[in-house]
Amino acid sequence: MEMQTDGMVSLSRPADVKPGENNNRFDKWWILVFFVIFLIAYLSITKSDPYWRIILFVRDGIWVSLTTTVVSFFLVLVVGLIIGLGRLSKNIVINGISTIYVEVIRGIPLLVQLLFWYFAFPSVIQSIGNLINFEPMKNYLANPVGMAILGLTFCYAAYMAEIYRAGIQSIPKGQMEAARSLGMSHIEAMRYVILPQAVRIILPPVGNEFISLLKDSSLVSVVAVADITRRGREFMAANFIPIETWVMIALIYLTMTLFSARIVTFIEHKTRLER
């Protein structure tokens, strides 16, 4: 249904837009994905030693990397939205806290943040426990996967907040005015009108953030998380074959990132509004 209010911007899809048009074209980049998968299969079958042994050795690390990335990304979307809305808030305190968070977190390398959460944060908790004489806090030990997810979330939420902010600010002000003139509150207008349009706009950078997060998840190997990279280091140390090990690890990461990129492109095409 098309809605117009005294010349304000329409809130609905234009009538001449055909959903799904031009979305059925085959994405030729899938060929590259299939080629990399074929290459992994070829090396594993024709040269099973050591490539197949590498896959068997790191397969649990693949699951850890994917789990860490997906959980972190979900939290990043939620925390990033909260911080992004805080950056747009007219409340000086909320806006100030959100802005400081974004500027500080973006100014510290991810590796340093991961090391802080794994090594320094538990010491802070233990110190507080000793101060208040609370036994569970005094004996607190960091969970590697939990601290890795926390570190990735805190770091990437700052970047995601800026993506949300830019997406929301790109929506014409007339959209909010039209929604308010129809009787919506500010929160309702933001929920039902502004955010749905902003999400369509920010899908490409959000997809890029997921791919970057997937690649940067390899850094969690330095904080005792048995991801693909750490398992690859363990295999190399035990077998002394660095070339084959890191070629296979690189191909596994490449497969995951290329597949993720194709899924993001598919979602973009399905949700894109033709103009």
Give every CB contact of residue 54 below 8 A, 6+ residues apart in sequence. 232, 235, 244, 245, 248, 249
In a domain, 121, yes or no: yes
Digitized pLDDT (tens) for each residue of the chain, 275 residues in all: 344 444 444 444 444 445 444 545 777 889 999 999 999 999 988 877 889 999 999 999 999 999 999 999 999 999 999 999 999 988 999 999 999 999 999 999 999 999 999 999 999 999 999 998 888 888 888 899 999 999 999 999 999 999 999 999 998 888 888 888 888 888 888 888 888 889 888 988 999 999 999 999 999 999 989 999 999 999 999 999 999 999 999 999 999 999 999 998 888 887 775 54
DSSP state of 28: T
In a domain, 1, yes or no: no
In a domain, 55, yes or no: yes
> pLDDT at position 273, please?
56
> pLDDT at position 53, please?
93
225 touches 148 (CB < 8 A): yes
Q: What is the dihedral of CA 168, 175, 195, 167, to 10 degrees?
A: -20
Q: How many domains does the chain have?
A: 1
Give every CB contact of residue 163 below 8 A, 6+ residues apart in sequence. 80, 84, 202, 205, 206, 209
Q: How far apart are CA 215 and CA 253, in angstroms?
A: 7
10 touches 186 (CB < 8 A): no
> pLDDT at position 24, please?
59
Q: Which residue has the tokens 């098309």?
A: 2
> pLDDT at position 75, please?
97
In a domain, 10, yes or no: no
In a domain, 14, yes or no: no
Task: Kindly report each contact of residues 118-126 with a partner whose C-beta sits within 8 Å and lies 24 or more positions away, as own/partner.
Answer: 118/142, 118/144, 118/147, 118/148, 118/151, 118/223, 118/224, 119/223, 121/147
Q: How far apart are CA 235 and CA 160, in angstroms?
A: 35
Per the structure, the complete domain to which residue 159 belongs is given by: 30-271
In a domain, 64, yes or no: yes
115 touches 37 (CB < 8 A): no
In a domain, 6, yes or no: no
Radius of gyration of the chain (CA): 23
> pLDDT at position 7, please?
42
> pLDDT at position 271, please?
75
Structure tokens at 253: 């990461």
Q: Which residue has the tokens 């959100």?
A: 98
Q: What is the CATH number of the domain that holds 64?
A: 1.10.3720.10
> pLDDT at position 4, please?
46
> pLDDT at position 74, please?
97
In a domain, 174, yes or no: yes
pTM above 0.95, yes or no: no
